Amino acid sequence: MLIVPEALIAQLVSADDAFKAIEACFASMARGDAYNFPVVREALGEGRQYGFKSGLDRAGAMLGVKAGGYFPGNGDKGMINHQSSVFLFDPKTGKPQAMVGGNLLTALRTAAASAISIDRLARKDARVLGIVGAGHQAGFQLRAAAKVRRFERVIAWNLHPDMLPKLGAVAAELGLPFEAVDLPRMREADVIITITSSPAASLMAAHVSPGTHLACMGTDTKGKQEVDPALVAAAHVFTDEVAQSISIGEAQHAVAAGTLDAHAITPLGEVLIGRDPGRRSAEEITLFDGTGVGLQDLAVAAVAVARARERGMGIDVGV
Ligand code: NAD
């Protein structure tokens, strides 16, 4: 079994690797070659969440689990709030193959998912990127989004405005003008990424213009909510996995309220394999409900392990 610690991941997996791996993962799910097992997610108190995301990809020969969660007090200890590890097993025998640091991989695979949704669903002429949220994950989402459209500027809102300059620095690195705005000015955006841990909607229907693509990435647990359920109900909704979208994703609220039919939600993989056309007009609002599936974690962990083996990196514990 190979151990690939967190400190090696940045040398082994790039944002482009993650983009390709997640496209293949969503396509595999749409073809029925891969499926996710039910998510286990438990509240530990004081805002801490812990759980397991797992799955099997027959085509990619991947079986495994990501164990981890969200620990909101970590910032004070100089750590990021998400902490996770991925375990890979041989799908034929169950033998453990690898244990891989999951923190950077989570950031990369989550950014890749929203970028794939922008690539496939946003209007080609999208020029203004809006971001709601400015925590650890926001910079990754911005970097990945900037690779798939020619954005000319970035506007951002965060409940805690003191966090915005860090996101502004990422925009500056990318050569993009950056402005902190209030929520009604999100109407200027052609694409909006939401990436907060909010328990109630911030982005309302009145804050979004026709033709916008929304990548809603923060809601990955029961009880979280980033956008107005009326906006979700009015949008053309896509997701990584419908079962997660309606139970722990942004769509959970509109589905529970009876304003969105679960059958109207399309897996993004269907678009990737050409079975669904995606956006239907320049005016419709498309919304990707990115809940984060276990197969995404396995896909990027498998890249890390393959690269580490090629380069003789990691710690082989020989079992
Ligand atoms: P973080 O703790 O670094 O940042 C949290 C963000 O949420 C900050 O922008 C903060 O200002 C904002 N926020 C906190 N309380 C809020 C409130 N009450 N209303 C509005 N905004 C509020 O977290 P992060 O690593 O940037 O992750 C952000 C969110 O994305 C978390 O909810 C996390 O669970 C989720 N996430 C989802 C996936 C996925 O695959 N869908 C993957 C990683 C993270």
Q: In angstroms, how far is CA 57 from the centroid of its own chain?
A: 19
183 C-beta closer than 6 A to ligand 1: no
Q: Which of 164, 197, 222, 224 best tests ligand 1's pocket when mutated (most atoms within 8 Å of CB)?
A: 197
Ligand 1 centre to CA of 135 (Å) is 6
C-alpha distances (whole Å) from 162 to each of 157, 165, 287 are 11, 7, 28
Domains 2-106+295-316 and 118-292 share a fold: no
pTM, full prediction:
0.97
Q: Nearest C-alpha to atom 22 of ligand 1 is from which residue?
A: 198
- Return the axis-axis angle of helices 15-31 and 294-311, rounded to nearest 10°: 130
134 C-beta closer than 6 A to ligand 1: yes
pLDDT in tens, the chain (319 residues): 999 999 999 999 999 999 999 999 999 999 999 999 999 999 899 989 899 999 999 988 999 999 999 898 898 999 999 999 999 999 999 999 999 999 999 999 999 999 999 999 999 999 999 999 999 999 999 999 999 999 999 999 999 999 999 999 999 999 999 999 999 999 999 999 999 999 999 999 999 999 999 999 999 989 899 999 999 999 999 999 999 999 999 999 999 999 999 999 999 999 999 999 999 999 999 999 999 999 999 999 999 999 999 999 999 998 7
Catalytic residues, by residue number, are 66
225 C-beta closer than 6 A to ligand 1: no
292 C-beta closer than 6 A to ligand 1: yes
Q: Where are the domains of the chain?
A: 2-106+295-316, 118-292
Instruction: Assess if CATH 3.40.50.720 describes domain 118-292.
Output: yes
Which architecture does CATH list for 2-106+295-316?
A: 2-Layer Sandwich (3.30)
